[in-house]
Amino acid sequence: MIALTGGAGFIGSVVLKKLNDEGIDDILVIDTLGTGEKWKNLVGKRFLSVIPKEEFRNGIKCGEYDGKIRLVLHLGACTKTTERDADYLMDNNHRYSIDLAEYCNRNGVRYIYASSAASYGLGEFGYDDTVFSPLRPLNMYGYSKHVFDEWMIQTGSLSNSVGLKFFNVFGPNEYHKADMASMVFKSWRQITTSGHVKLFRSTSPQYSDGGQMRDFVYVKDAVEVIWKLINSTGISGIYNLGTGIARSWNDLVLSVFSAMGKDVSIEYIDMPALLEQQYQNFTEADMTRLNATAASHSFMRLEDSVVDYVQEYLLNNWKYV
């Protein structure tokens, strides 16, 4: 079987669809569905069962799954960059990941897990996926991912494992993410309801209002990279997963207006003080190492991916992948 944590979540559910498209359905979806709309990401997809994350955690600790799993895709986590409960994040994002890694180490199982570009902090040391110990994440979410990357390195657990430092992923199936949904989705909603989009004013003289930059990556591209890694068992290590090209928030929002056929109207607002303390004005994945592997990928242009997302999904009653 394949164990897919976060399988009802944003990236995880698109990975689940990709596995199904490739004829794979012996999949355990590990997730907590709660009372929200996340369950809709599972509709129409094939899998063996949905198992609550703590039940699965207990099962791997007591040997229930020994010899039964051939691959662990660990995409589940709390991704709220504003989450303040450090104990919760250390258990949910860090120690849970360790439990899965130890299971994989004991059983010789390949392990592909989600790290995050939030680990890079302000980017003082660049966005080089060979640099770890000097990094200073700006929020507890980024720190929980960073310390797990360091644990994997320090324990020598990367020989049959891949960590992926996701940059700003957007696309269909993120509808349940509320405040953590992408700015593409938020822009579409704002334009639909008010005709304009609100962006933060810049707090740095280096960037104009809305000129702060991110490496935006379409979820379909991210999933194609994951699929290549599933099939390239000789690849191991921790890699960036972005496009390698930073674009501004203004570029992103203009792409949404264009995809919707609407006139551009942007209002710049002050950034909340809490967010200002942990705001990344620039991110751009150094893709040198991944591009040198069999998982190298040609990413869609931002404008093309926004058109696909807006016109094929958002304007089509929030269609799911």
Supply the residues annotated as catalytic.
141, 177
Is the C-alpha dihedral spanning 197, 286, 128, 94 positive or negative? positive
C-beta of residue 295 within 8 angstroms of C-beta of residue 224: no
CB atoms near residue 193 (< 10 Å):
8
Coil, helix or strand at residue 198: strand
Nearest to 98, CA basis, from 167, 150, 62, 63: 150
Quick one: 177 exposed, middle or buried, by C-beta within 10 A (0-12, 13-18, 19+)? middle
Cβ–Cβ < 8 Å for 121, 138: yes
SS3 268: strand
DSSP string, 51-82: E-HHHHHHHHHTTTTTTT-SEEEE------TT
Break the chain down into helix, strand, coil percent, rounded to 5. 40, 15, 45
**CA distance between the termini of the chain:** 22
Give the contacts of 242 (CB within 8 A, at least 6 positions apart).
Answer: 117, 165, 166, 167, 168, 215, 217, 283, 284, 285, 287
Which is nearest to 117 in space by CA: 282, 309, 292? 282
CB neighbourhood size of 132 (10 A) = 16
Question: What are 274's two structure tokens?
Answer: 């809490």
Name the CA dihedral angle for 238, 162, 289, 12, rounded to a multiple of 10 degrees.
Answer: -100
